[in-house]
A and B are shown apart, each in its own frame.
Chain A
Amino acid sequence: MKRIVVPGEIVTEERKRLGEHTFLRDGKIYSDCVGIAEEDPKIASVVPLEGSYKPKINDIIIGIILSEEYAGYTVDINSFSRCFLLKEGIRDALKPTTVVSARISKVNELNEADLTDSRPFFGGEIICVSSVKIPRIIGKNGSMLEVLKKGTGSVIVVGRNGRIWAKGGDIGLLVRAIEKIEREAHMEHLTNAMADFLSEGKPKEKLLEKTVGEEK
């Protein structure tokens, strides 16, 4: 069973390397967030269950063009600061409210990011989830994402910043599947559970009252 920890809770008193979301004090390793303490003999780390997106180099994100500047575009990636996308290499001008996928090429110490390798989307839907749940939606070696693609027949692009673009196939089923992953992200054998869920066809589950993950 996975252990849920909160800020200030001891992860381990053993001598391990400090992983994500931990800090060392008086020889003990503590968690800095609400999350799951990972079991690893060498590294102590916590996977957060809550939080907003912090840009990292080489992450693929899904952003929305906000405005055009002289040398590029400002892009909203649902993080603390807006990002900048250079015009270099972009053939057709991008209009505000266009949705693009892009790669983060640079992050400064103020968590402001530069984007590159952009690709606009046409049509389709954007689903917003908490960015901390994205690793679960992708799964180990993309296994969960494969299950989702096969189970719904949709084209899916997952942004590390908590936005998912999908087109075609059964979008309604995809939304329900993502909601289920969000709720059960901390549980074991989730990939198998999702495969079962999707192969049941149209489940008779009651629709949730709130819409899929509000933007944080």
Chain B
Amino acid sequence: MSIIWELRADKVISALKEGKRLDERAFDQYREIKIAKDVYKNADGSARVVLGETDVVAGVKFVLGEPYPDMQDEGSICIGAELLPLASPAFESGPPDKESIELARVVDRGLRESKAIDFKKLCIKEGELVYLAFVDLYAINFDGNLFDACSIAALASLLEAKIPKVEENKIVAGEYKGKLSLSRKPVLSTFAKIGTNMLLDPSLAEEKAMQARFSVATTEDDMLAAFQKGLGGSITKQDVDYCIDTALKKSKEIRKLL
């Protein structure tokens, strides 16, 4: 951790002692979010999300495959994430490390467990051929809270995704047969624990200062679809309750943008 970040982390903590965040946001306030949809033409669905200065790109590609043995009439999704070295001096090039694996799996959890996608609709021929929707996320600038930025980008790209036409068990390039429709819009909300405070949408400086991290995915019908506590600190039940209540409230703002 370079010395500048240690100084910033100290500033975060001293500002909190006076009940303030460095960028003067409320404790339960998201930074400005910009969502651009359908940006990459070769992708079957795509989106770019900028949250504060965290910048994430998502693209969907449908691939044909065999169904899993215990789900013969269902397709599936597979989420991958890459933290590109150009996004931050902290990211190294190479195969996905544990940070990007955790990120991908948490985003996946929110989407999958909320039953937003009807996997039966992705079945072409039971037991033989299904669609697998690969959603790949690339972080191109890291300014804190990749979790929420990636989750919004993945969701936005899937909402735009068009299902390719299939003829003779092969995908017909450039031809589509309608959109992938989602029955729910799960939104992930991530909080940083600093001292005894839980801060929504941590900025980069706040991430440097945080002891623990907690993410919760919520749906528009007030259901909880995923939890993930991260880092080496601890949280209390009261912390989780606060995060759940705040996430249920604030996710509605995000859903309006999608």
A–B direct touch, CB within 8 Å, in complex?
no
